[in-house]
Amino acid sequence: MPVCGIPTTISKSQIFYNSIKNLLKQLSNSVLYLMSISAGLVVANLYYNQPLLHQIALTFGVTESAVSNVALSTQLGYAFGLLIIIPLGDKISNKKILKLDFLLMILSLVAAAISNSLLLLIISSFFIGFTSAIPQLFVPMAAQLSDDKGRGRAIGIVMSGLLIGILGSRVISGLVGEQFGWRTMYYVAAIMMVALFILLKFKLPQISPTYKGSYASLMKSLWFYFKTEASLRLAALRGALAFAGLSAFWTTLVFLMEDSFGYGSGVTGAFGLFGIVGAMAATVVGKMNDKVSKNKIILFSAILLVLSWGIFLFSANSIAGLIIGIILVDLGLQALHITNQNIIFSKNPEARNRVNTIYMVGFFIGGALGTSLGAIAWGNFGWIGVAVLGIILSLAILVVHLGYKHRTV
């Protein structure tokens, strides 16, 4: 008998794996790149608010600390979306999930645009984050699309789109917010989501999973995988620590740019262009995962993150230093993130959406924590406090990896 909906025989897992693999072998690279672009456009919804926080604070007459709750609420919503929605990818057709998710997503974006109080914007932002978890269905699909030798490349392609969406969103929202106001950005995002849903409806192949257990047993199985997979727990911890640092950086950068340089949201958002340099290397990092020791890549990533935050520490009044730091911190994060996902997807093919859920929930809980800690560090110690926070978080990754690297893969 299965425990918590988990197959107890290898044959069931292999049957599922082979059926999905045979289906996806028929797909062209165009579908892989469609998933990459879609992931980037949807995940961008999470980050439009970051360069706009100063404008939003002025609109509602609140402090910088109070307005940071908009970003925090979005990330918490994303974490809940990962926990509640993404496991369904192992049970329900992807087309059904997309239909309901996009409807709520579009309504949430419109609600944010018309919010007349900070509280309403925070609530709307939670549901924007909740529904924007949908790209995490594409990452396991990319893993299933490939064989063992090409899995890193496939994940890298989708992740490159997702990372470019994260970074490019700040550029777009910064420019739109400065020229037309922060509300316009939410209206534009809603229109883009309508167009994207129509495209996915006709172009994305339908996948019907074979899991027949109840939703309750599906959710219970999350604990089983978390408890039994040491490599999954370590990957989630590494990802959470790294993303906590990056979230602290982007949440407080807009305040640094206002205080130290007198720049608005347009310039702040434009800094995302430099992070894209690192994100563009996602495919390269994915290919490296297929050839180079994952322990070595993780070690390199952790060292790169420590170095980038060391540069930030001395760059409170240096644009050049901030640019170099952004390139390095994004490169370090994406190398770590892709390697983490390649590790967790190498096992349990019948439950890739669930193991991805566990990993990404930890990842974005780390992001939410980083947003809060970043705001506290900024409020009490300024930019030096934020940079020291980032160094501590990055050193923690290094300590965890060196202490448990024998359990990574």
At residue 15, does pLDDT exceed 80? no
Picking from 338, 319, 334, 315, the residue whose alpha carbon sits closest to that of residue 277 is: 334
Confidence of residue 9 (pLDDT cuts 50, 70, 90): very low
Run of H or E residues at 407? none
What's the alpha-carbon Rg for the chain, to the nearest Å?
A: 20
Picking from 97, 131, 96, the residue whose alpha carbon sits closest to that of residue 111 is: 131
**Per the domain annotation, does 272 fall within a domain?**
yes
DSSP 408: -
Q: How far apart are the C-alpha atoms of 266 and 263, rounded to whole Å? A: 8
Q: Which two tokens stand for residue 378?
A: 């900024």
For the entire predicted model, the pTM comes to: 0.73
More confident residue, 248 or 214: 248
At residue 376, does pLDDT exceed 50? yes
pLDDT > 90 in the chain, percent: 31
Number of neighbouring beta carbons within 10 Å of residue 49 = 29
Q: Which two tokens stand for residue 197?
A: 């849903």
Across residues 376-387, what is the average pLDDT? Answer: 93
Confidence of residue 26 (pLDDT cuts 50, 70, 90): very low
Q: How far apart are the C-alpha atoms of 48 and 55, rounded to whole Å? A: 12
What per-residue confidence (pLDDT) applies to 27?
A: 46
Across residues 142-148, what is the average pLDDT? Answer: 65
pLDDT in tens, 254-289: 888 888 887 776 677 677 777 666 666 656 666 666
Q: Which two tokens stand for residue 119?
A: 């509280």
Whichever domain contains 230, its CATH number is 1.20.1250.20
Q: Which two tokens stand for residue 391?
A: 């160094």
At residue 159, does pLDDT exceed 80? no
More confident residue, 319 or 91: 319
pLDDT > 70 in the chain, percent: 83
At residue 6, does pLDDT exceed 80? no
DSSP 133: T
One-character DSSP codes across 257-285: IIIII---HHHHHHTHHHHHHHHTTHHHH
Confidence of residue 145 (pLDDT cuts 50, 70, 90): low
The dihedral formed by the CA atoms of 348, 351, 357 and 360, expressed in degrees to the nearest 10:
30
Q: Which two tokens stand for residue 293?
A: 């020791």
Q: Which amino acid is at 212?
A: K
DSSP 48: T
What per-residue confidence (pLDDT) applies to 3?
A: 46
At residue 381, does pLDDT exceed 90? yes
Across residues 103-109, what is the average pLDDT? Answer: 95
Confidence of residue 188 (pLDDT cuts 50, 70, 90): very high
Across residues 38-43, what is the average pLDDT? Answer: 90
Q: How far apart are the C-alpha atoms of 150 and 244, rounded to whole Å? A: 30
Confidence of residue 250 (pLDDT cuts 50, 70, 90): confident
pLDDT in tens, 310-320: 999 999 999 99
Share the mean pLDDT of the chain.
82
Please list, in sequence order, all residues whose beta carbon lies within 8 angstroms of the beta carbon of residue 336, skipping any fewer than 6 positions away. 238, 239, 242, 297, 298, 301, 302, 305, 397
Q: How far apart are the C-alpha atoms of 299 and 125, rounded to whole Å? A: 35
What per-residue confidence (pLDDT) applies to 130?
A: 94
Task: Domain of residue 93: give its range.
Answer: 28-203+216-407
Please state the separation of Cα 60 from the chain's center in Å. Answer: 28
Contact in structure between 379 and 65 (CB atoms under 8 Å): yes
Q: How far apart are the C-alpha atoms of 321 and 249, rounded to whole Å? A: 14
**Per the domain annotation, does 99 fall within a domain?**
yes
Please list, in sequence order, all residues whose beta carbon lies within 8 angstroms of the beta carbon of residue 271, skipping any fewer than 6 positions away. 170, 253, 322, 323, 326
**Per the domain annotation, does 285 fall within a domain?**
yes
Q: In the chain, how many domains are there? A: 1
CA distance to 85, 174, 209, per residue, from 91 (Å): 11, 39, 5
Contact in structure between 178 and 264 (CB atoms under 8 Å): yes
